[in-house]
Amino acid sequence: MTEQTIYVVDDDEAMRDSMTWLLEGEGYRVACFASADAFLGARHEAMNGCLVLDVRMPEMSGLELQEKLDTLGSRLPIIFVTGHGDVPMAVAALQRGACDFIEKPFRNADLLSRIEQALQLGSELAARHRRDSAIAQRIDHLTQREREVMELVVAGKLNKQIADQLDISMKTVEAHRARVMEKMGVRTLAELVRAVMTVS
């Protein structure tokens, strides 16, 4: 598992610098961006951690960036930092699926605890994503016949029924089934069912 990073996007230089100081003091890895565009330019799939986003920014606002990231399929949790009177905006952001928001001026403890939660969420999301993609990869390795057999097995069919349906011998069904269990890295039927359910 790679180390998590806190991505800070704020147009105010002092804010960026002081956040870096604070968060690095807490032992986090921090990356700062002066604008939404700068962040979008540096963004990649493997980014892991959370995003601390100022709502009010010239050019692209925090909300707009959130929308953009949504369409790009980003899984980074977002903590919005708002100023006075931006409360309705923050509510809108939360409704759109932001992780959290914090109002300036904030207490450091609040910020840190929210960051911790966000990172937790982030790592969970990342782990789930990794697992899902592994299972998907394994399914990809199955042959056409094995996949058909697996789908029927998961659907709760008996070997006999499978053999009849696919018009193959019982022995062949058993062989395919053994291969499926092996390739999917599961030992019991229950495990197989769970793995397949996760990805579908």
Partner 1 sequence: MARAAGSAKNRPMFVRTPPRQPQQTLLWLAPYVAIGIFALAMLVVTALLQWREQDTALSALEGDMHWAERTIEARLHAHQDFLSELTREQEFRQLTYESFQVRAARYVRDNPEITAIVWVGTDGKVEWVSPHEATAVFVGEQLTGVRLAALEEALRIRRPSFSPDYGDASLRRANDLIYPVQRGSSDIGAFSAMMSLEALLRVTLPATFTARYSLTVVDADNREVLSNSSISPTDRKISGTISLDLPNNRLGLDIVAYRGGGIWAPFVPAALILVLTLIATTTLIQLRRHARRRAETEEQLRAAYAFRLAMSQSLITGLRAIDLEGRITFVNDAFCRMTGFSESELVGVKPPYPYWPPEEFAQLQINIDTALAGQAPASGFEMRIMRKNGERFDVRLYFSPLIATDGKQIGWMASMNDITEPKRARVELERAHERFVTVIDGLDSAVHVADAGSREILFANRAFQSVFGFDAIGRDSAIVTAACRPPPEALVLDPAGLSPDDLPCELFDGEIQHLMSGHWYHVHERAIRWVDGRTVRVQIAADITDRKHIDEVNLQQQKRLEQTSRLITMGEMASSLAHELNQPLSAIANYCAGCVKRMHSGNYQLDDLLAAMQKAGEQAERAGKIIRRMRDMVKKSDPNRQPVHLAQLIDEARAFADIEAQRSSTQLLIDIPENLPRIVVDRIMIEQVLLNLIKNGIEAMHDTPVEHRRLSIRARHLDQRQVEVTVADRGHGMAEADVEKIFTPFYTTKEEGMGIGLAICRSIIEFHQGRLWVEPRRDGGTVFRFTVPIEEEDD
**Using CB under 8 A as the criterion, which residues of the chain lie in contact with partner 1 when the complex forms?**
12, 14-15, 17-19, 21-22, 24-26, 83-85, 104-108
91-94 LR contacts (CB < 8 Å, sep 24+): 92/63, 93/55, 93/62, 93/63, 93/66
SS3 53: strand
Report the residue number, 19 or 192, with the smaller CB distance to partner 1.
19
Sheet holding 78-82, edge to edge: 29-33, 5-9, 49-54, 78-82, 100-103
| Residue whose token pair is 């493997």 | 46
Compare residues 106 and 116 and give the one whose CB is closer to partner 1.
Answer: 106
User: What is the smallest separation between the CB atom of 140 and partner 1, expressed in angstroms?
Assistant: 47
Using CA atoms, how far apart are residues 25 and 190, in angstroms rounded to an integer? 46
Q: How far apart are CA 88 and CA 91, in angstroms?
A: 5
Least separation in angstroms between residue 20's CB and partner 1 is: 9
Question: Least distance from C-beta 103 to partner 1, angstroms?
Answer: 9
Pick between residue 14 and residue 46 the one whose CB is nearest to partner 1: 14
Q: Of 22 and 166, which has the nearer Cβ to partner 1?
A: 22
- Give the shortest CB-6-to-partner 1 separation in angstroms: 13
Counting other chains too, the contacts that 166-175 makes at CB distance below 8 Å and 24 or more residues apart are 173/149
User: Other C-beta atoms within 10 Å of 58: how many?
Assistant: 8
Q: Report the nearest approach of partner 1 to the CB of residue 45 (Å).
A: 30
Judged by CB, which is closer to partner 1: 18, or 143?
18
